[in-house]
A = this chain, B = another copy of it.
């Protein structure tokens, strides 16, 4: 928008907002707290982002690409892709939480998720891997992708199981990653089914 506005202030607001929205969701986040944490006056926040939902949208868009895009997708090697996602979710749990909250609070629709270019590209890559005989052809690409994502995020903040934390013993991380890679290999490997 306005190129003159201070990038530093904008950035501080986005950082503070990311933390607060990730921790408390949209309804639970507090505009005053975000402004205070950023060391910025509340009126500035409104000048930059319009309203609370506009601020969330900016935060979400900023990280949305990073959630799914920063991790390179390899349809030929889904186990490794899933492990990379596991690591990414571990390193930046706030991204997963933002996405989960956006879904629950209804600010992103199904169509926005399924019809995004990032998803379309992945589906095509899976279809190609199926034609090449590297991924089982008996499960639709959309379901392969959905299941791989769900499995990779099993131990994330979204999951209903114990959440993985960076401080966990590395043996625990290795154990989960092996389980994940092996389960995905068995589920989608072209050898069977």
Contact = CB atoms under 8 A, between A and B. Distances in A.
Contact of A159 (B105, B146, B162, B184): B146
Instruction: List the number of copies, as a whole number.
Output: 2
Interface residues of A, number: 52
Contacts of A24: 27, 105
Given A139-B183, A186-B192, A161 B150 contact: yes
Contacts of A158: 100, 103, 158-160
A159 B179 CA distance: 20
A162 B105 contact: no
A176 B110 CA distance: 16
A25 B105 contact: yes
Contacts of A153: 150, 160
Contacts of A143: 175-176, 179-180
Could you tell me the dominant secondary structure of chain A's interface residues?
A: helix
Interface in A163-189: 163, 175-176, 178-180, 182-184, 186-189
A72 interface: no
A144 B161 CA distance: 11
B157 A145 contact: no
Given A182-B193, A188-B186, A149 B175 contact: no
Given A28-B105, A160-B99, A187-B187, A146 B150 contact: no
A110 B25 contact: no
A71 interface: no
Contacts of A149: 154, 159-161
Given A27-B28, A113-B160, A160-B103, A146 B155 contact: yes
Contacts of A27: 24-25, 27-28
